[in-house]
Structure 1
Amino acid sequence: MHSRLLGLSVTFFGLVQLVVSGPVKALTGSAEHFDARATPTTANTVVLDGKRLISAKQHLKENFFATQLTSLRRDADSWLGKGPWSVIFKPHPPENGTLHDYSSQAPYWWPTKNKTDQNVSSLSTSRAPTRLDNAWSWVSLYRTRRVNATRFLHLFATFAPLFTGRTIHDVDTITDRLSIGAVCQSSYSLALTWYYMYTGDAKYSKKAATALCTWFLDPKTSMNPNLEHSQAVPCRELGRAPVIIDFSQLFTSVVDAVQILNLGATGWTKDDTTRMNKWNQQFLDWLVSSDLGKQASALHNNHAVFYDMQVAALSLSVGKRDQAKSVVSRAKSRIDEQIAPDSSQPNEAVRTRSWHYHCFNLVAFTRLAQIASHVGVDLWRYKGPKGQGLQKAIQFILPTALNQKK
């Protein structure tokens, strides 16, 4: 239950759980639709525990978690008729970019007609002014605790033509944020279902392979391995330091899905693995060397923790174990800085939705702890100089989650 409260999608309907003390026993379930006969090779997963995946598969005749197992297959079935997705399917490329560049828009910025010294700073000098610069400025509304509804609903009819030449649209339909979520979630669910299903049923692995190849590997449809145009503010910033947030925990699910498919899944080849490793290496290089990546690393909230999580996961996936160990060891200083002696998270408490961001940061920390366990670093039991730790931070939010205090 604790892991569900934290929103750890890595658990995926309970097949592998992460809780406050670390990973618990792999879940078991009905063998009616799942293969309990073979003992597979261990998956070199970076968040999931490959040995526990084997244990789960060997105990599928037990019925205690039959509901969760059935739910996993049901979710995988729901993806069979969807996709594939690609960055090139959006109607317009990001400013100064191409359709192959991932793009998204910052959620806490709103358009306003009146420029003042109080609500707008100087425009970005990284590009030439556009017609929007004279018509609209963008103001941060952090203090009002309001997300820009244009990302989820519709832009004002008078603003939309200036932005894209259209009348009304949902911003998420012209960027890539929803699509990458679908790629990550579908490939993870489909790969896990293939793993637990009878080996002769390849429709799940083939669908996962199609989603991954279309988004990452096919030169005609693939995403460039960077996030230079993520979290952009139109007319102001082409990309911002919180770039990693759009991938957050999702991309680690892709890394694990690939490792599961590497066990011999139909539709996924050795060449696919080689090309995916190359893409991951290029993305990792961008994260550690780009200005936006360095800025993300220097932040002091969940953005920095997600950055560490992503770099550690990618490093481990491409065989850079020492680099992964260095990154997860650095996470101890993140715990010292971001978790207070009372186990709250002050830098998340001041955010627009403090409850959400307390949980969100713990998603990053706990996944990072799982990655750390693969390289011999124990973040689950680490305690800072003032007693700070992940277990206490989780215990801090539980009363609110259980409606035990206002």
Structure 2
Amino acid sequence: MIRNIFLLLLIMMTLGASAQKRWRDQVINDMRPAILERAAWAAKQEPETITAFRCDRSAGGMHDFYSEGDYWWPNPVSVDSPYIQKDGQSNPDNFVAHRQAMIRFSRIMGALAAGYMASQDKTYLEKALLHAKAWFADPATMMHPNLQFAQAIKGRATGRGIGIIDTIQLMEVVQALKIMEKAGIIPAADLVAIRSWFEQYLQWLTTHPYGKEEMKAANNHGTCWVMQVAVFASFTHNDSLLTFCTDRYKNVLLPSQMAVDGSFPLELKRTKPYGYSLFNLDAMSTICQVLSKPGDNLWAYTAEKTKMISKGISWMYPFVKDKNNWPFAHDIMYWENWPVAQPFLIFGAAAYNKKEYYQTWLRLDHDPQVEEVLRNLPVRNPLIWL
């Protein structure tokens, strides 16, 4: 009996890996010129971490990541009054340099790893190592492994748990690191230091009040906590956290956030319902891509007999294929900038062998430059996730 179960799991692993490889080869075949063009850009970039930028409003030091709440504005009553909220409307005068540096880091690492996969040229990975060491190992330039000062609000908070969403930008960094480790590019001492950074950050994410608060968020913030913790835990080989994230997807995220029709009501209530619906579906699909394994395929998991990720994709897909069919309010900002090459399309294509999803993904923008889009599209190189 045990032998039969083992053989069945082995067959499932082989079939799953084979399917992923077919889609990986397809992406390389169709996207190689664009992948190598972005990798060439990334190879020219020099490391630049948060220590290159400083905001006097930050309560932290030079190694502490700092950002300010996007939708908070000066109170017209008095410049000295606490900021007031305007949901969905980003204040262009808020400090975002650290977030921009992290997005740049993510774009560089993802592009270099994808370039290696498309060419097998290890010089891309050697370049990526310089950036990783600057962020996680070099005492002069590294970032502290916590987010105590993210999404601050002038006059109200020096930092908030909601700011944890900013480090979704480190997910493709981790995917690149895993590829680099497998290729033997990271020296042993550097690998210990880099992995230790993520172990410390996971400890903070799961024990600090900000982390616990963000984990319990009912909307895309709760989804993104699970998504990034799962990715970081896969790099640090933290099996208990991987199991926790799987259970939370099954028993909390999917049943509480998805409606019977596959939509996400909490995202539809926002002032940017289209963009937030895309974002949350991308995040849940990424969770399925990261955590699915033989015997526990999240792509096939159903909550409350009706809710599964395939239904979420089926609900959103017509509005990606033709946005003019969107039956809800238009987003208050950035309506014209979505959709782009959403990762749920390529991950869904691979999971369900849906060529139509892949063809739609192929024709969309794979290299958006609008900052808001970049911020909400942390999976920009799905090749490195396949």
For Structure 1 versus Structure 2, the TM-score category normalised by the shorter chain is 0.7 to 0.9
CA contact (8 A) 1:305 1:361 kept: yes
What's the counterpart of residue 315 of structure 2?
Answer: 396
Q: RMSD over aligned Cα, in angstroms? A: 2.5
Deviation track 1:255-286 (CA, whole Å, cap 9, x = no partner) reads 111111112355x3122211111001000000
TM-score normalised by the chain length of structure 1: 0.71
- The amino acid across from 1:334 in the alignment is L
- Verify: 1:222 aligned to 2:163, yes or no: no
What's the counterpart of residue 383 of structure 1?
Answer: 302
Deviation track 1:126-168 (CA, whole Å, cap 9, x = no partner) reads xxxxxx7xx23211112xx4222334xxxxxxxxxxxxxxxxx
User: Whole-Å Cα distance in 1 between the matches of residues 177 and 321 of structure 2?
Assistant: 36
What's the counterpart of residue 168 of structure 1?
Answer: none
- Verify: 1:141 aligned to 2:79, yes or no: no
- Verify: 1:280 aligned to 2:198, yes or no: yes
Taking structure 1 as reference, are residues 64 and 307 closer, same or farther at Cα in structure 2, changes over 3 Å only?
closer
Taking structure 1 as reference, are residues 376 and 292 closer, same or farther at Cα in structure 2, changes over 3 Å only?
farther
What's the counterpart of residue 163 of structure 1?
Answer: none
CA contact (8 A) 2:35 2:118 kept: no
Equivalence map 1:256-295=2 (5 Å): 256-266=175-185, 268-295=186-213
CA contact (8 A) 1:340 1:346 kept: yes
Superposed displacement of residue 295, structure 1: 0.5
CA contact (8 A) 1:94 1:229 kept: no
What's the counterpart of residue 234 of structure 1?
Answer: 154
Find the partner of 2:34 among 46, 71, 81: 71
**Alignment size in residue pairs:** 311
User: Whole-Å Cα distance in 2 between the matches of residues 93 and 375 of structure 1?
Assistant: 50
What's the counterpart of residue 167 of structure 2?
Answer: 247
TM-score normalised by the chain length of structure 2: 0.74
Find the partner of 2:289 among 357, 370, 390: 370
- The amino acid across from 1:399 in the alignment is P
Taking structure 1 as reference, are residues 243 and 376 closer, same or farther at Cα in structure 2, changes over 3 Å only?
farther
- The amino acid across from 2:282 in the alignment is V
Superposed displacement of residue 178, structure 1: 0.6
What's the counterpart of residue 321 of structure 1?
Answer: 239
What's the counterpart of residue 150 of structure 1?
Answer: 93
User: Whole-Å Cα distance in 2 between the matches of residues 206 and 321 of structure 1?
Assistant: 29
Superposed displacement of residue 50, structure 1: 7.6
What's the counterpart of residue 186 of structure 1?
Answer: 108
Superposed displacement of residue 64, structure 1: 8.4
User: Whole-Å Cα distance in 2 between the matches of residues 312 and 272 of structure 1?
Assistant: 22
- Amino-acid identity (%): 25
Deviation track 1:32-77 (CA, whole Å, cap 9, x = no partner) reads xxxxxxxxxxxxxxxxx987776678x6xxx985340121111011
What's the counterpart of residue 361 of structure 2?
Answer: none
Structure with the greater alpha carbon radius of gyration? 1
- Verify: 1:197 aligned to 2:197, yes or no: no
- The amino acid across from 2:301 in the alignment is Y
Select the structure that is richer in helix.
2
- Verify: 1:213 aligned to 2:213, yes or no: no
User: Whole-Å Cα distance in 1 between the matches of residues 27 and 236 of structure 2?
Assistant: 36
Taking structure 1 as reference, are residues 396 and 192 closer, same or farther at Cα in structure 2, changes over 3 Å only?
same
Taking structure 1 as reference, are residues 202 and 380 closer, same or farther at Cα in structure 2, changes over 3 Å only?
closer
User: Whole-Å Cα distance in 1 between the matches of residues 112 and 18 of structure 2?
Assistant: 19
Taking structure 1 as reference, are residues 400 and 207 closer, same or farther at Cα in structure 2, changes over 3 Å only?
same
